[in-house]
Amino acid sequence: MAEAGSGLRTVRVIQYLVDGKGVTLLDTLSDSFVRTARLDDVRAAGRISVRVAGHSLALFFHDGRVHAVDNRCPHMGFPLHRGTLQDGILTCHWHHARFDLESGGTFDQFADEARVFPVEIKDGEVWVDISSREDRPANLRQRLRDGLERNISLVVAKSAIGLLGSAEDPTEPFRTGLEFGAWYRRGGWGQGLTIHTCMMNLLPHLAREDRPRALYHGLSAVSRDSAGEPPRFSLRPLPTESVDLTTLKGWFRRFVEVRDPEGAERCIISALHAGADHTQMADMLFCAATDHRYLDGGHVLDFTNKAFEALDVAGWSHAGMVLSSLAEGYAGARRMEESNSWRNPVDLVKILEDAFEELPNVLEEGRNKRESWEGQEDLAAVLLGEDGGAIAGALLGALRDGATEEDLAGAVAYTAALRIARFPTTNEFGDWDTALHTFTFSNAVHQGLRRAPTPELLRGVFDAAMSVHLDRFLNVPPARVPEPVTSEKSTEALLAELPALLDERQKVDEAGESVASYLYSGGETDRLLAMIGGLLLREDRDFHTIQAVEAAFRQYAGLRGTTAGAHVLVAAARYLAAHSPTMRSQGQTYDIARRLSRGEILYEE
């Protein structure tokens, strides 16, 4: 490698273009050129590498001219001067990325454009302009779109790291992913967009250095979920201004009932066109999501809640593309009325239908007693019991005694978390998902009622309670919930042991004990949340694990500092430990991108 001095910062340069027919002299004034090498040395060697003013450059003599290129391959940093140059195309020898030597443009989208530098010749020496002419944020946004379109995780990771590192508001790349996922997946809203929204919800709880990683996971999930899928084409609103929202809501429910996704989608678009706000749209959608019992194992209502949470971040102007993406899921969902477990040996659907008939009178009876209900513990004991009829009666009784819709939903969500906290590892592994579905559905109903506290959505609380009831076999025998006692270990030691526990398989009870001991010993909650979030991010993406942690964080927000809150985080830690460690290959991709962003050399020991 030839080393060269930096030379004068302001020089009057004579550029020589050697084209085989003589020498052309160009008179140029510049203040950003540095001396890099002698022209004869570059011509004789054909290529050399130099390091000047903090830049590693590859100089090539090709077709009578000197070309200067950043010597780090923009894919993974391998030295480009070791590559092959043929017919004006420079090929990196590590992963065979190809670049136009003149412009730096890549022929392989897994690699970024190579950076090229203007070259001038003065007195037989090569001078290179190392000033930056790139609009870096704009380039990163474009590369993010490229990565999403081609499902290239490394490109997505580089973009996420670069954008947040340049002080970009994470809302902007979140919107990019939201728009991409909403339009480029024919089936509409799915796991990818749900993960994307979960990651955005987790962002405030994470350590600053983990936030780009969360964004990367969300964006990559969207890209993977859309890969190979046909796009979704939007429908126009009805060509009328006279139809009212009540009518559209009724039509929407009817179209869902007969499994007509196009009719349902057009009602959504028309309602928005008519000026429906987020409360009215939540009412319309959540009402249809609870016309049938526990649709699609809870996914329909959970996805709807996540769509509204995504709009809370991205803005209501995106409501058309986001909410219309839900229609396919509504129309195609499995209905638990049709399932054996909800009908036999006890007809839980009949119990629920009878309870729903009582709801209007019960709500009226309890209206003047609001704010005075304190029966959470008694209700939880019934909800975890054996009698479906008693559960429905207890829910009606709580409303009659003054429990609000949100109170009731929170109590059911807590018992759903307890099912996970008490989940014994003697169960089949797949049964974790059964308990998880109930918990995330319960959380979605709870969050939805904060947005639209309607009698129709209140039916979802009863559905969730019956799902908790059906999951009772998952707690036979129940795992022991950690007692609220102070640990002999320091809170620092308890926090530090969590990563090691999750490096081993099935340290489920130990992880739960560690989290409980930390909280009961007075550990700082925000540090624990950041730790659990960080441990989630180091694993390969698992849809249900991400849902479990995000829902637990949501529930904990209303239970902070309570024993019930500790139980919720114990549930999250146990679920995460049950699904750790993974191969962590996605984390490897992210770590490569992070090291490259720091200028580290990957190809050397």
Whether 386 maps to a domain, the answer reads yes
Q: End of a domain among 309, 335, 361?
A: 335
Cβ-contact 536, 587 below 8 angstroms: no
Is there a single domain that holds both residue 221 and residue 205?
yes
Same domain, 394 and 498: no
**Per-residue b or e along 69-105, where b marks 16 or more CB atoms closer than 10 Å to that residue's CB:** bbbbbbbbbbbbbebebeeeebbbebeebbbebeebe
| pLDDT exceeds cutoff 80 at 18 | no
Statement: residue 9 has pLDDT above 90: no
428 sits in the region (left: phi over 0; alpha: psi -120 to 50; else beta) called beta
What's the pLDDT score for residue 108? 97
**End of a domain among 475, 504, 533?**
475
Tell me whether residue 172 is in a domain: yes
Measured CA to CA, the distance from residue 405 to residue 454 in angstroms comes to 8
Q: What is the pLDDT of residue 15?
A: 38
Co-location of 199 and 314 in the same domain = yes
Residues 112 and 211 in one domain: no
Whether 16 is covered by a domain: the verdict is yes
Residue 30 has pLDDT above 80, yes or no: no
Tell me: do 322 and 400 sit in the same domain.
no
pLDDT in tens, 131-175: 877 778 999 999 999 999 999 999 999 999 999 998 899 999 999
Predicted pLDDT at 28 = 41
Task: State how far the Cα of 372 lies from the Cα of 293, in Å rounded to an integer.
Answer: 30
Q: Tell me, yes or no, whether 326 and 177 share the same domain.
A: yes
Q: How many CB atoms lie within 10 A of CB 605?
A: 3
**At which of 289, 307, 335 does a domain end?**
335
**Same domain, residue pair 104 and 242:** no
Number of domains in the chain: 4
Same domain, 426 and 298: no
Written as one letter, the residue type at 238 is: L
Same-domain status, 85 and 154: no
Domain shared by 33 and 168, yes or no: no
Q: What is the pLDDT of residue 31?
A: 67
pLDDT digits (tens, 9 = 90+) for 505-522: 999 999 999 999 999 999
**At residue 181, what are phi and psi to the nearest 5 degrees?**
-65, -35
Least confident of 50-54, 243-247, 527-531: 50-54
H-type alpha helices, 227-292: 245-257, 261-273, 278-289
Rounded Cα–Cα distance for residues 316 and 64 (Å): 57
* 40 within a domain of the structure (yes/no): yes
The pLDDT tens digits of the residues spanning 525-548 come to: 999 999 999 999 999 999 999 999
- pLDDT for 213 equals 98
Q: 157 and 114 share a domain?
A: no
**48 touches 1 (CB < 8 A):** yes
Q: Is residue 602 part of a domain?
A: no
DSSP state for residue 233 in the 8-state scheme: P
pLDDT in tens, 379-420: 999 999 999 999 999 999 999 999 999 999 999 999 999 999
Same structural domain, 365 and 250: no
Residues with Cβ within 8 Å of residue 250, at least 6 apart in sequence: none
Sort strands 89-91 and 55-62 into parallel, antiparallel or unpaired.
unpaired
Structure tokens that stand for 519 in this block: 């909280």
pTM of the model: 0.92
Question: In this structure, is residue 597 part of a structural domain?
Answer: no
Kindly state the average pLDDT of the residues 100-120: 96
Which of 301, 278, 271 has its CA nearest to residue 288?
301
Domain limits at 524? 491-587
